[in-house]
Structure 1
């Protein structure tokens, strides 16, 4: 008995223990069975009512999906954290949903699945008071509209009825430094006809969509831009695109062309300057103050600007620079109608005052100017001396003579030759506007005046003389050209400083003749110089030799003096000897003359006697025979044979003469002479 009671007691405690374990594990199910719902602290309960058995509000109104009056369906009211009763499981379904958290740097974009329909043409619902979408009943009772919602959910934690609202996390709009935000509205009033950009509306940099629509904001590209920073902008209402800020560097200007404003006045090419738009950064002020669309006369100076590229484009160009030794003549295409200020003294164009259309009478001095090159043209005119070359392949840095070439002329004697010319001109400062008004630019001045004037002058001058005369009188021709060209250019407000003749290139055949002549003249000069050098050299050598022998000369002079005394002594001695010899010679001559006279008398006497003997011999025989006897005697004395070994006879058979005998002996000697002898 005790054992049985003990067993029963233990079983009771066992059942109690099991019951406690079941309750501890499944108490929620137990509570659920009894219609009790516990909502945790970080959640809320969204309720769906399955049915309503009786009453006037059993079914939802047509088109509704959220119940406000206890109808069957999704309930507008949610269960806050805590204990809730009478939510019988067969009639209600309760879903626990975590609180919705929007982190920093993001926003919650809401879309309602119930509410009034959106008006025709609208794509985003109006904003209503609903405690940041935490009060679904207030949203519906305040005529909230279904679809994308205008208001955003900022960072934080919220109790959102997910049966009515769908929330997507989107990053906040961040505009980095050096950028700007260009906005396009997806909803709002339509743009008026002729407009390309929506007018500006105060809406806290597009963070207040309700203010945008309430202020009459227009759909499409917006005038206002978003500067660098972070913004809570509804992407369902606004699209934001990044664009570059406008940076104008030093020594540059920005040329503006606007896309919005009133049309330009007929005949104008650019809009006049208007005030109050903060350098085109406030497009609405520009339009309100009467700004015109299109090219603007006003320019942007160096700096950073937040200019909407949908409103205006900016072209960065260099400042207008007038170099040193130049002036800038301004031709204005905009401004007031110009009135000529030159009077009757200048009839080749109008010069006007600054700010008027036309050529300004007052030029710009050297420097940099923020001038719009599309509305004002600045022509630089050099006030220093300008050199222009009529020489093929030669040009100055200014390039004004780039198209000029060597001048070809013809002389009076028919020779064609080339002529290089340099012309130096000067334009006074106050005459520079007149030159531009007359010709439009320095290049036109060169082609229309200087080129024909100088070219024709030298062609005419060459035809007035032959080529040799032109070459010889080069300086004279240059002076005449300077005077004539200066007078011609003065009529065009251009000063002629100097005219210089460069290379003169005669024809090759004439040049060769002149060159040969010149070479011959130079050779003659060279030879004369060499001859004079030789003379000088000889004189130098003589002087050098004289200096080298000076000591010997002195010694020789002393020797000459000594020799002179010796000579005088010798002369005295010779005179004595001569006197002595003369006396002796006279004595010898007397002796010889006496002896000679005696010998001559003797010879004369002997010769006379022999002559008488010969005469007697000749007389006793014939003269021919006497001669032969004399020859025979002479031959006998010489050992010559008188009887020849060979007798040479004549053709008549007669004996030969003495001559024949001699000839025969000679032939014999020739035949007997040995061969080796010459």
Structure 2
């Protein structure tokens, strides 16, 4: 009888020893639940215990461990470790802890070994809800009864928390761009218009948001930006990053339809009325947004939009700042030019426009690199032909000037001195031919009624011309004679002075036939 009892006791002991043993495989974590017992001081109200009371225990069993617990008191469940894929982040929501104070969207940060030490989290006063710290790529032995981890592999949880999939990836700033950071938490800034938050030290490019907050960081657009070529683990609950291109951007006003994603999608061909003639022209504007100017641009033109790469603020800048400047310029000057003057002074119009664009963008910090007006189309074929003639001569003069510049850059080589002098003469000749063509076109456009030239000769008598020079003839011959006697600029000014007096006497009579056109419409932009 005693032998039987001994066997039963040994069998019971063996069963207890076997039933209480546990093995935690690699890649998993053991969560322990105490089946009964009194609640301990400091235990969470949601039945997670840090003092050995009944319920889920905050302390976990690590991977690749084995041991024994009384089987009638404890229950061990193995769950997979939390995995965060490369290039992504994990957001943490605490299921346990204290209640956050009102007005605090994010819980206070608790240093608890990336949430692997649940017991320390509760002892240090960890709060329920969204946490400031994110998990970078790797595997974590986390008590999933205490914390929910949202990753790209948990789309249901991400949807419930209204976190888009793109926000669960590290922020990557490409070369030729800068990342403007807009914080959603921090001290409320002063109500100053278009102000940005000052640089705050120690937060590792906003990857340690609790340091930013502890050092008095302001809510909103930040002066410090994320550098190109970097990857950043940014908590989307704490901050939003707007990528602003810092490379040179070429924006086109043209009649061609552009894709909606283009920065210049809203820019159409420019249409204006010059002395009753409809003129259509195209334009290219090159701009560059310096890194230090990007935060102010985002502050002025907003961050709202559906495009995650930050194109919306730049589009708003293009439409509201740049396009309005160009539109206003052409509205103002189109009524101040005669069509003949517009044709011959097209380069001057471009130069003046470039100056206005630079001035308008200066206060935004954006640099206007280059402004180019393309060849225009007019409703009068003769005007188009005359403009092409002038443009051809302008191009030849530009090529000559460019070649001269190349030769002057080689001044150290004495063998090119003679060629340089010859090119200077050629440049002067080409410029003289260009002025000659412009004046002849001007005289031809003014019409035969004016080309009698008696008024020009009368004005010429008042000018300082050598007594030995005799000017006679009409039309082109008179122009040639004048150009041989006087500088081209003086000749053109003389013609315009006489023409204005004569035009006033004619009471506004138009010199050129034209096709009837509707009233001036200024600058018109094509629809998206």
What TM bracket, shorter-length normalisation?
0.5 to 0.7
CA separation of 1:256 and 1:414: change in aligned 2, threshold 3 A: farther
In structure 1, distance between residues paired with 2:180 and 2:388: 53
**Conserved? CA contact 1:187–1:218, under 8 Å:** yes
In structure 1, distance between residues paired with 2:377 and 2:247: 31
CA separation of 1:413 and 1:310: change in aligned 2, threshold 3 A: farther
Structure 1 unpaired stretches of 5+: 1-44, 46-76, 82-98, 101-129, 135-150, 156-169, 202-214, 341-345, 523-678
| Number of aligned residues | 344
State which drifts further: 346-355 or 296-305.
Answer: 346-355
**Helix, strand or coil: the match of 1:327?**
strand
In structure 1, distance between residues paired with 2:385 and 2:135: 68
* Aligned equivalent of 2:224, options 340, 357, 362: 362
- The match for 2:425 is none
CA separation of 1:223 and 1:505: change in aligned 2, threshold 3 A: farther
Q: Equivalences for 1:179-194 in 2 at 5 Å?
A: 179-189=28-38
Are 2:126 and 1:274 aligned?
no
- The match for 1:178 is 27
Are 2:278 and 1:442 aligned?
no
CA separation of 1:420 and 1:232: change in aligned 2, threshold 3 A: farther
- The match for 1:375 is 238
In structure 2, distance between residues paired with 1:512 and 1:233: 101
* Aligned equivalent of 2:145, options 278, 291, 310: 310
**Helix, strand or coil: the match of 2:274?**
coil
Over residues 227-275 of structure 1, what are the superposed CA-to-partner deviations in whole Å (9 max), with x where a residue is unaligned? 3344556676555544332233444333222222222233222123222
- The match for 1:431 is 293
In structure 1, distance between residues paired with 2:190 and 2:285: 36
In structure 2, distance between residues paired with 1:400 and 1:227: 53
In structure 2, distance between residues paired with 1:234 and 1:415: 98
Q: Equivalences for 1:369-408 in 2 at 5 Å?
A: 369-391=232-254, 392-394=256-258, 399=261, 401=263, 403-408=265-270
**Conserved? CA contact 1:395–1:402, under 8 Å:** no
**Helix, strand or coil: the match of 2:299?**
helix
CA separation of 1:269 and 1:403: change in aligned 2, threshold 3 A: farther
Are 2:366 and 1:494 aligned?
yes
Over residues 192-233 of structure 1, what are the superposed CA-to-partner deviations in whole Å (9 max), with x where a residue is unaligned? 9983351234xxxxxxxxxxxxx3x222x4433333344556
Are 2:4 and 1:79 aligned?
yes
State which drifts further: 482-491 or 301-310.
Answer: 301-310
In structure 1, distance between residues paired with 2:356 and 2:331: 13
**Conserved? CA contact 1:411–1:465, under 8 Å:** no
- The match for 1:479 is 351
**Conserved? CA contact 2:288–2:367, under 8 Å:** yes
In structure 2, distance between residues paired with 1:133 and 1:190: 30
In structure 2, distance between residues paired with 1:250 and 1:400: 31
**Conserved? CA contact 1:409–1:458, under 8 Å:** no
State which drifts further: 463-472 or 316-325.
Answer: 463-472
**Helix, strand or coil: the match of 1:483?**
helix
TM-score, L = length of structure 2 = 0.55
Q: 1:375: how far off?
A: 0.5
Are 2:81 and 1:196 aligned?
no
In structure 2, distance between residues paired with 1:437 and 1:238: 57
In structure 2, distance between residues paired with 1:238 and 1:418: 85
Q: Equivalences for 1:183-582 in 2 at 5 Å?
A: 183-189=32-38, 195-201=45-51, 215=52, 217-219=53-55, 221-229=56-64, 230=66, 232=68, 240-275=76-111, 277-316=112-151, 317-336=168-187, 347-354=193-200, 355=212, 356-358=217-219, 359-366=221-228, 367-391=230-254, 392-394=256-258, 399=261, 401=263, 403-414=265-276, 416=278, 418-440=280-302, 441-465=313-337, 470=342, 473-502=345-374, 504-506=376-378, 510=380, 514=384
**Conserved? CA contact 1:298–1:372, under 8 Å:** yes
**Conserved? CA contact 1:270–1:295, under 8 Å:** yes
- The match for 1:642 is none
Structure exhibiting the larger radius of gyration computed from Cα positions: 1
In structure 1, distance between residues paired with 2:351 and 2:24: 74
Q: 1:514: how far off?
A: 4.7
In structure 2, distance between residues paired with 1:302 and 1:390: 46
